[in-house]
A and B are shown apart, each in its own frame.
Chain A
């Protein structure tokens, strides 16, 4: 009887549109998908290809990481396809392939259910799925899950007779549950509904009742005996519709999955709806006009949706990221000059480009520095509104890692990469960095492990093989990394974990590391509370062989002289004439424009490229606190750098005036400084052999003791 019912499916004729349009649409879909993700939403691929969702290593060990929860195999398969996002075009091609597979299977199911050539029923879900792909690359896994469900349903539909179908469903369901996780519920619902809908109520009644119940028990059994996952996770692990990423994509997901649930019944439902329509109206739904209207509506819907979910900020950022990856520093500066940007990462990249062009401390305030020191070294607290769909500060950690690695602070670069792995999982970039750091630090065995893993990847094996070949000869490797080793810090401010102490460690290591010096001073410029420390950096510039003080440093120490009324030891450097002139002009303009409408923009226009303007308009909260300054003071004091210590203790006291511990420490530092001064002044007595003070901690002459004297 059931067989008979199955053959009496609704006629296709009444529902069918023109074959050419339909198949044309099917062929157009991969082209549309590829075009969208290669040219419009390419930012998604660029931003996410270095995230764990694209990390895939061949081998049993890696596969084993996914088999400990239901749906693990689907995650693994998703990772496999996502790895092809290494090239934007290949990533776009992969998305197009996945969506086309989905479309093809959807088409086959619809055809099997008698809904041939239904444009809306076919293409609306494809469009929605493509829109969903703009959320994250991880959706490729969901597309594969959906395709697998359709394939299973198709197999079920192609079987003849109730018993083989039921046997198929009974056997397939637990397998799919283990492999595909939460997606199995679509299959279970489809099969249950088809069994009840397509057959007489009493036909296969036992199966109809028991099958859904047993299916619902699967996660319970998995929860109790098989997988140590929570019950919620046992029921619905993996699918995007249970993801917390959704946000504004919620309605899209609801419509898509809602439609897919009723999809096997769509042709019949449409047939019944049409039957209810008056004959005249029914006639109008056929023919070219109706087809044109349908296509237009679909096209408009698609355009509207893609426009709505297009993220111009991410697009903008992608342009910078690509330039950064190509080390096109001129390109970055040209781009930001053309159109300024408020994005955190853009500020970071612009500062990096300025450094690379040798103008960081001369030109940094010509560009927006709205994120303060957080835009010099990316700070997690600064990422309140992530400009990218990645949404996590840790995704940015590798930019910091690149910075520190280039600077020579290998351990800091290592930590940044490690932190990223610990928090969001492994990425190709972090693995490469760990390998590099181990190699620079001479830990070749540890480096080989990461290289061995990278060798098991599709796109990064070249990197691994290059370095493995290098490591084959230890002497050659030592020679290769000698420069990088020599630039590493020799001083460890171990008690403090803030990023800018890394600059201090490098600056204090006596390598005359220009990058560290410039970033340290740039940090102090961007962190208004640190202005008293800038004057102490002048000696660094002298020792590192600068022929003149960079413009913003001149502005800062001139400002300090004005504020404190005390001269700063400039170690022979002089102010550019322009510095004093513009400072005075700025002061004049400020008093002239006091309270005037548009004063802010006028000042920005005239003096926006100066440190003074940044100093008076910056609203970023001070990054440092008393604890940091106190700790640094302790570190400096322990190395005999009393001047620097006193300066830092004083800053700590500014933030926490009543702290007895700091007062105690400053007293002992002052006493020590006094003793050192006395020892230096008394003829014939030998100076205590303290380590050479770092130039950046040198104080103004009024407070200065040893640092200034030893130079005089």
Chain B
């Protein structure tokens, strides 16, 4: 009996081995003077040593393909890709990247032509950076152009493999919206996110515990939205925002646009739930939004634009935002006065999503023609402001002709992530770029997928992409249960004496429906 079992096992093993495609011999391949076209474009990029395999498709004609990946003396990876789809084995890839830290890795692509001969394309090279990237991303997934909210949820993805899982979803239709998940210094165990709808509240997750806070307290016209953790980990700078959305009619602008018509800045001190603000940043002359603490925790950077009448289409262009900052002492709760960091509106641009680097020297941000909603504006690009020289530079290596948005630094400051719809003009996808010690930015690459054709049928959009050091340990079920708890009211001990409700000049759509 045992013998039969042994023979059966051997047979299975032989069959599996025989069915596995062996790599054809390409030693006689003739070189061609052309680089192979591959999709996604993983050429001349700097990649982290802990990134998942950069699987790709070869967009050249050929009957058969072979890819060899090598770096110095490290053992090369040979992959047979009969249909041009190159899926790199994870273990071999990991070993290769470890050996290639700080060096180049080369991709040699071979194609079998109709005559049966093999050709070798020009070598593609990428560089492996010495510093790793945070190993997880947490993002929201939604429809890219919605009149009605259809948020699939908040998900996490392991950057070192292809594993992804849901964190917060609305599978029962119980929740209407989740937004603005914000991690404390890329720490997966400490973060907040907001819920709207019947279970509305701000969820504060810290060290395995969850609290739900009702941040919509008089005179706040909205609950908190955009947020940033203080380096001390106890305070949040946050804004409350009011948007208006528009659907352009002309062909060049197909997707909806949004304008912030009101935005105010507050600080939420985590433990006793108080919310503090000052009239300087809680009023309706200016719109304050997109807060971000400085690296030393003494200032809050934010963008500010003047509130204007919003009556007609062309008025949207007048909404331009400057980069500002205001000091706030978390010990005493004393606010300073807003200071202009860079008057981008005078340069004809609008600033959004500022993010201070860990070293404190740079502000990574977006500049677009108008508003703080850059994802549907082709003019939006990544910029870096050097706080020493006060010079701002377009990150041309990372930016594209289409839109860029939502930049975030990695915990070691050597990488940043952002969203861009450069692939098809509609869906925003996660991109990563290396920021070297000399302050140079390198060409960005898209999030690798197990199936390199994944983006061909991807019709949703990534949103609010955050880099985190490791997997969020709180499970989806735990988060779902935590969201059911009663919200504790935040306190607003010193509300500024201002009219909280904006005197919007925007004409609303007529009451009955409006979309049909």
Let me know if A494 and B248 touch, CB within 8 A. yes
Let me know if B456 and A452 touch, CB within 8 A. yes
Contact with A along B374-394 (1 / 0, CB 8 A): 000000000000000000000
Contact with A along B501-513 (1 / 0, CB 8 A): 0000111111111
- Interface hit among A81-89, A267-275, A376-384: A376-384
- Cβ-closest chain A residue relative to B316: A494
- Given known A-B contacts A419-B147, A634-B312, A411 and B513 have beta carbons under 8 A apart: no
| B314 CB within 8 Å of chain A | yes
A445 CA to B250 CA, complexed, in Å: 19
| A495 CB within 8 Å of chain B | yes
Chain B residues whose CB sits within 8 angstroms of the CB of A624 once the complex forms: 510
Let me know if A628 and B313 touch, CB within 8 A. no
Let me know if A496 and B172 touch, CB within 8 A. no
- Cβ-closest chain B residue relative to A492: B249
- Given known A-B contacts A68-B171, A489-B250, A496-B509, A638 and B312 have beta carbons under 8 A apart: yes
Identify which of residues 188-247 in chain A touch chain B, using a CB-to-CB cut-off of 8 Å: 223-230, 233
- Given known A-B contacts A379-B512, A421-B143, A493-B313, A488 and B250 have beta carbons under 8 A apart: yes
A495 CA to B313 CA, complexed, in Å: 6
Identify which of residues 384-421 in chain A touch chain B, using a CB-to-CB cut-off of 8 Å: 393, 396-397, 400, 409-412, 414-416, 418-419, 421
- Given known A-B contacts A495-B507, A631-B507, A422 and B516 have beta carbons under 8 A apart: no
B293 to chain A, nearest CB (A): 32
A377 CA to B514 CA, complexed, in Å: 11
User: Which DSSP category, helix, strand, loop or mixed, fits chain B's interface?
Assistant: loop
Q: Which of B254, B480, B511 contacts A411 (CB 8 A)?
A: B254
| A284 CB within 8 Å of chain B | no
A381 CA to B457 CA, complexed, in Å: 34
- Given known A-B contacts A379-B516, A411-B247, A448-B456, A422 and B477 have beta carbons under 8 A apart: no
Chain A residues whose CB sits within 8 angstroms of the CB of B2 once the complex forms: none
B155 to chain A, nearest CB (A): 11
Let me know if B456 and A449 touch, CB within 8 A. yes
- Cβ-closest chain A residue relative to B515: A419
Let me know if B312 and A453 touch, CB within 8 A. no
Let me know if A441 and B424 touch, CB within 8 A. no
- Cβ-closest chain A residue relative to B479: A228
Let me know if A453 and B459 touch, CB within 8 A. yes
| B149 CB within 8 Å of chain A | yes
B139 to chain A, nearest CB (A): 17
Let me know if A418 and B458 touch, CB within 8 A. no
Chain B residues whose CB sits within 8 angstroms of the CB of A449 once the complex forms: 424, 426-427, 456-459
Chain A residues whose CB sits within 8 angstroms of the CB of B251 once the complex forms: 410-411, 440-442, 485, 488
| A443 CB within 8 Å of chain B | yes
Contact with B along A624-653 (1 / 0, CB 8 A): 110110110011011000000000000000
| B253 CB within 8 Å of chain A | yes
Identify which of residues 290-337 in chain B touch chain A, using a CB-to-CB cut-off of 8 Å: 310-316
A502 CA to B514 CA, complexed, in Å: 12
Contact with B along A413-451 (1 / 0, CB 8 A): 011101101110000000000000110111101101110
A502 CA to B249 CA, complexed, in Å: 8
Let me know if B426 and A443 touch, CB within 8 A. yes
- Cβ-closest chain A residue relative to B484: A230
Q: Which of B169, B423, B425, B511 contacts A68 (CB 8 A)?
A: B169
Let me know if A446 and B425 touch, CB within 8 A. yes
Identify which of residues 603-627 in chain A touch chain B, using a CB-to-CB cut-off of 8 Å: 623-625, 627
Identify which of residues 50-106 in chain A touch chain B, using a CB-to-CB cut-off of 8 Å: 59, 61, 68-69
Chain B residues whose CB sits within 8 angstroms of the CB of A625 once the complex forms: 510-511
| B20 CB within 8 Å of chain A | no
A442 CA to B515 CA, complexed, in Å: 24
User: What number of A residues sit within 8 Å (CB to CB) of B?
Assistant: 75
- Given known A-B contacts A445-B424, A449-B424, A494-B246, A630 and B507 have beta carbons under 8 A apart: yes
Chain A residues whose CB sits within 8 angstroms of the CB of B515 once the complex forms: 380, 415-416, 419, 497, 499
Chain A residues whose CB sits within 8 angstroms of the CB of B312 once the complex forms: 494-495, 634-635, 637-638
| A490 CB within 8 Å of chain B | yes
- Given known A-B contacts A495-B312, A624-B510, A68 and B254 have beta carbons under 8 A apart: no
Let me know if B423 and A450 touch, CB within 8 A. no
| B166 CB within 8 Å of chain A | yes
Let me know if A627 and B508 touch, CB within 8 A. yes
| B35 CB within 8 Å of chain A | no
| A505 CB within 8 Å of chain B | yes
Chain A residues whose CB sits within 8 angstroms of the CB of B427 once the complex forms: 446, 449
A379 CA to B513 CA, complexed, in Å: 7
Let me know if B145 and A418 touch, CB within 8 A. yes
Interface residues on B, range: 35 or more
User: Which DSSP category, helix, strand, loop or mixed, fits chain A's interface?
Assistant: helix
- Cβ-closest chain B residue relative to A456: B457
The total of interchain contacts (Cβ-Cβ below 8 angstroms) comes to 187
Q: Interface centre among A229, A419, A494, by most B CB within 10 Å?
A: A494
| A366 CB within 8 Å of chain B | no
Chain B residues whose CB sits within 8 angstroms of the CB of A637 once the complex forms: 312
A378 CA to B513 CA, complexed, in Å: 10
Contact with A along B146-164 (1 / 0, CB 8 A): 1111100000000000000
Let me know if A445 and B477 touch, CB within 8 A. no
A437 CA to B148 CA, complexed, in Å: 19
- Given known A-B contacts A224-B477, A415-B147, A638-B311, A397 and B510 have beta carbons under 8 A apart: no
Contact with A along B124-151 (1 / 0, CB 8 A): 0000000000000000000101111110
B81 to chain A, nearest CB (A): 19
B413 to chain A, nearest CB (A): 33
Contact with A along B239-271 (1 / 0, CB 8 A): 000000011111101100100000000000000
| A498 CB within 8 Å of chain B | yes
Let me know if B146 and A422 touch, CB within 8 A. yes
Q: Which of A440, A490, A495, A634 contacts B250 (CB 8 A)?
A: A490
Let me know if A422 and B148 touch, CB within 8 A. yes
A70 to chain B, nearest CB (A): 10
Chain B residues whose CB sits within 8 angstroms of the CB of A661 once the complex forms: 505
A449 CA to B250 CA, complexed, in Å: 22
| B91 CB within 8 Å of chain A | no
Let me know if A492 and B248 touch, CB within 8 A. yes
| A159 CB within 8 Å of chain B | no
Chain B residues whose CB sits within 8 angstroms of the CB of A623 once the complex forms: 510, 512
Contact with A along B447-476 (1 / 0, CB 8 A): 000000010111100000000000000011
B20 to chain A, nearest CB (A): 21
Chain A residues whose CB sits within 8 angstroms of the CB of B454 once the complex forms: 61
Identify which of residues 392-447 in chain B touch chain A, using a CB-to-CB cut-off of 8 Å: 423-427
| B174 CB within 8 Å of chain A | yes
Q: Which of B148, B150, B169, B516 contacts A228 (CB 8 A)?
A: B169
Let me know if B147 and A228 touch, CB within 8 A. no
| A172 CB within 8 Å of chain B | no
Q: Interface centre among A379, A422, A448, A624, by most B CB within 10 Å?
A: A422
Chain A residues whose CB sits within 8 angstroms of the CB of B171 once the complex forms: 68-69, 227-229, 233
A400 CA to B480 CA, complexed, in Å: 38
Identify which of residues 14-32 in chain A touch chain B, using a CB-to-CB cut-off of 8 Å: none
Q: Interface centre among A381, A416, A497, A638, by most B CB within 10 Å?
A: A497
Q: Which of B147, B174, B311, B424 contacts A495 (CB 8 A)?
A: B311
B57 to chain A, nearest CB (A): 13
Provide 30 A-B residue pairs closer than 8 Å at the C-beta atoms, listed in order of the A residue: A225-B475, A233-B172, A380-B513, A396-B516, A400-B516, A411-B249, A411-B250, A411-B253, A416-B515, A418-B145, A418-B146, A419-B147, A419-B515, A438-B254, A446-B424, A449-B458, A453-B457, A493-B249, A494-B249, A494-B316, A497-B509, A497-B515, A502-B249, A627-B509, A627-B510, A628-B507, A631-B507, A637-B312, A638-B311, A638-B313
Task: List chain A positions with a Cβ less than 8 A from chain B.
Answer: 59, 61, 68-69, 223-230, 233, 377-381, 393, 396-397, 400, 409-412, 414-416, 418-419, 421-423, 437-438, 440-443, 445-446, 448-450, 452-453, 456, 485, 488-499, 502, 505, 623-625, 627-628, 630-631, 634-635, 637-638, 661
The 9 A-B pairs at the shortest CB distance, nearest first, are namely A631-B507, A494-B313, A445-B424, A381-B512, A228-B480, A380-B513, A492-B249, A638-B312, A422-B150
